[in-house]
Amino acid sequence: MASKAKPDLPSAAPVHGARHVAIIMDGNGRWAKKRFLPRLAGHRAGVEAVRRVARAARDLGLECLTLYAFSSENWKRPATEVADLMALLRHFIQSDLDEFHANGVRLRVIGNYRALDASLVDLIEGAMARTAGNSGPVIAIALNYGAQDELVRMAQTLARRVAAGEVTAEEIGIGDVDDALYTAGLPPLDLLIRTSGEQRLSNFMLWQAAYAELYFTDMLWPDFDARALEMALDAFRMRDRRFGGL
């Protein structure tokens, strides 16, 4: 984040009109391969892109930027790569938290992060608690996140509420589902970006993407920057969002 002190949020609504942007950050491995570098170099460059884009999101007046950092399926990768990714995440939180906090950012981690290494869980919970009272944008990092797992947990939560007599099955509405997801309290998702030319959602924010605009770019994640985010928001601004109406 920029170290210059700035107000937490712009006073006027930003011209692009988006509140919440989520990104499937894809292509780190291909970026490294093109340069005859190990995959870790691609992930490291991916962290630099995270820093650039987090700053840009704030400068562009977004209320929330959600980044898909590690999916519940990424455990299938070689153990060394999983360990590298966890080490990068740990280091990112340790090194960037002061700057996030100074800039009023609220850090949120979504996904089943409690299943991670206990010291990483402590670090995440400490970072979330430290920034929870800030009034600036939310940077949400999806970690050990899978949308199907999120929906199963939501069903279990609501089933427990019904069993406890808090609500009847018929009374359950969209708001109850929203509140039982990892993303509870975050603004509705406006724009979902995926880099690297793949055009699928890969178990990311399946419920939340119901009315999101989708934007696919061939750019590999480590090349993504403020200009690329602005281009995606320009494209978003041109979309005709009807939400099922006319």
Footprint of ligand FPP (CB under 6 A): 25-30, 43, 46-47, 50, 67, 69, 74, 85, 88-89, 92, 141, 196, 221
What tokens appear for 52 in the block? 């650039």
Annotation marks residue 225 as catalytic: no
- Judged by beta carbon, residue 97 or residue 162, the one nearer ligand FPP is 97
Tell me how far, at minimum, the Cβ of 6 lies from ligand FPP, in Å: 22
- Judged by beta carbon, residue 148 or residue 156, the one nearer ligand FPP is 148
Please, which residues have CB within 8 angstroms of residue 41's CB and are 6 or more apart in sequence? 32, 35
Identify residue 97 by its one-letter amino acid code: L
Tell me how far, at minimum, the Cβ of 193 lies from ligand FPP, in Å: 13
Please, which residues have CB within 8 angstroms of residue 93's CB and are 6 or more apart in sequence? 107, 123, 124, 127
Is the CB of residue 157 less than 8 Å from the CB of residue 181?
A: no
Which element (helix H / strand E) includes 44?
A: helix 39-59
Please, which residues have CB within 8 angstroms of residue 1's CB and are 6 or more apart in sequence? 51, 54, 55, 58, 96, 99, 100, 102, 103, 105
- Judged by beta carbon, residue 64 or residue 158, the one nearer ligand FPP is 64
Annotation marks residue 26 as catalytic: yes
Measured from each CB, the residue nearest to ligand FPP is: 29
Please, which residues have CB within 8 angstroms of residue 237's CB and are 6 or more apart in sequence? 15, 16, 17
- Judged by beta carbon, residue 69 or residue 158, the one nearer ligand FPP is 69
Check residue 212 and report its DSSP letter. Answer: P
d(CA 228, CA 219): 9
The residue among 11, 1, 148, 154 whose CA lies nearest residue 71 is: 148
d(CA 98, CA 76): 33
Out of 26, 96, 103, 144, the active site residue is 26
Tell me how far, at minimum, the Cβ of 59 lies from ligand FPP, in Å: 18
- Judged by beta carbon, residue 49 or residue 212, the one nearer ligand FPP is 49
Tell me how far, at minimum, the Cβ of 104 lies from ligand FPP, in Å: 19
Out of 8, 59, 74, 117, the active site residue is 74
With tokens 């601004």, the residue in question is 237
Tell me how far, at minimum, the Cβ of 173 lies from ligand FPP, in Å: 33
Instruction: List the catalytic residues.
Output: 26, 74
